[in-house]
A and B are shown apart, each in its own frame.
Chain A
Amino acid sequence: MQIIIKTDWCKSCGICAAFCPTGALSVEPGEKARATDVEACTGCGLCERLCPDLAIEIIKVEVSI
């Protein structure tokens, strides 16, 4: 999974981190959102839909070994 955060649009509201079901994101007070545990992300897409600033895009990456 690839979590792209457009930091110049993010306003640090904390919504994405508050509702991510797997704790993949974090927003420290006054800082932009960060993907702190990409491994945990299931690609559910909730964060990108909830974000009021259109600042998150989730890309499902096919991993071939």
Chain B
Amino acid sequence: MNVQNYVRKRFLPHLWCPGCGHGTVLNALLRSVDELGLSKEDIVMVTGIGCSARMAGYVDFHTMHTLHGRALAFATGIKMSRPELNLIVPMGDGDALAIGGNHFIHASRRNLDITAIIMNNHIYGMTGGQFSPLSGPGTTATTAPRGSIDPAFDAMDLAKAAGATYAARTTTFHVRELQKMLTGAISHKGFSVVEVFSQCPTYYGRKNNTGDAPEMLKAFRDETAKIGSKTLDENPELIPRGVFVDRDAVDYGEAYAELCRNAAKEAPRC
């Protein structure tokens, strides 16, 4: 397939830095949309603010580029008024779980039928390399020159505890797995979260001496392992990848539609 058919070519090349993983997330997402055979007109991408959020400018779907941390709130409104549309909400780690943390837990709790993608580069890329709630202890950032002392959220634990009905984690090295998870998430009815470790060579990389983008991808390869694999069993210090949650539950839109049907029966003239 040619992913170039799904982008607004006039805005490319995109503005992400050379080697930025956010472009690889976009690449996989376009393949997933193609695999699912979705019509461009039936997709709405809503983003907040951040390097990650710039994705909305490039895809040839309906798009909204909104406020930092608030993409899920806008997406909720769209989904409730036009339930037939597919809502895809890519967010940065700061966007999703710092300023947007409250929207994230409540969208999870309500089980809104929305696909959230956390493009986790473990840093605030757009604003110059501040640490985020996903950076973790020891990460060096402009706001943590001696290394952060903040413990990190585990986005999968958080999504699960808050009620998300699909939650998966992978990286921009594992591109086939990434496409599979995005396809799983978009097909899933209910709130779906895909966390993707995405390299930011410009800030995270430089501050943490990781080497260039290919080196950062090697680290994703070497520091993660599939849930249920022998490698993970034998090396519990590795970061697990895979599908953490996949369960059926009534989604918010269904519950609301039923409420409306019952209300209409009881008060036919309203």
- Cβ-defined contact, B214 with A52, below 8 A: no
**Interface range on chain B (Cβ under 8 Å from partner):** 20 to 34
A53 lies within 8 A of chain B by Cβ: yes
Do A49 and B214 form a contact, CB below 8 Å, given A8-B13, A54-B12, A57-B2? no
With the chains together, A8 CA to B217 CA distance in Å? 24
- Chain A hits for B43, CB < 8 A: none
Which B residues contact A (CB, under 8 angstroms)?
A: 2-4, 7, 12-14, 16-24, 26-28, 30-31, 172-173, 175-176, 179, 212-214, 217
Pick the most buried of B17, B22, B213: most chain A CB atoms within 10 A of its CB.
B213
Nearest Cβ distance between residue A42 and chain B, in whole angstroms?
Answer: 15
A51, CB-defined interface residue at 8 Å = yes
Q: What residue of chain A has the Cβ atom nearest to residue B6's Cβ?
A: A54
Q: A14-B212, A19-B214 are in contact. Are A52 and B175 (CB under 8 A)?
A: no
Let me know if A50 and B24 touch, CB within 8 A: yes
Query: Do B19 and A11 have beta carbons less than 8 Å apart?
Result: yes
CB pair A53–B214 under 8 Å, yes or no, is no
Cβ contact of A52, chosen from B4, B22, B212, cutoff 8 A: B22
Number of A-B contacts (CB under 8 A): 69
Given contacts A53-B13, A54-B3, 12 further A-B contacts (CB under 8 A): A9-B12, A9-B13, A11-B13, A13-B19, A15-B213, A48-B27, A49-B175, A50-B173, A50-B175, A54-B23, A54-B30, A57-B4
Docked pose: A54 CA to B213 CA in angstroms? 16
Assess the A49–B28 pair: CB atoms within 8 A.
yes
Chain B residues with Cβ below 8 Å from A15 are: 19, 213-214, 217
Check A11–B2 contact: CB distance below 8 A. Answer: no
Nearest 9 CB-CB pairs, A to B?
A: A52-B23, A13-B19, A18-B214, A11-B18, A49-B175, A13-B18, A9-B13, A52-B24, A13-B213
Rounded to whole Å, the gap between the CB of B202 and the closest CB of chain A is 11
Q: Answer whether A52 and B20 are a contact pair too, CB < 8 Å, given A15-B214, A15-B217, A19-B217.
A: yes
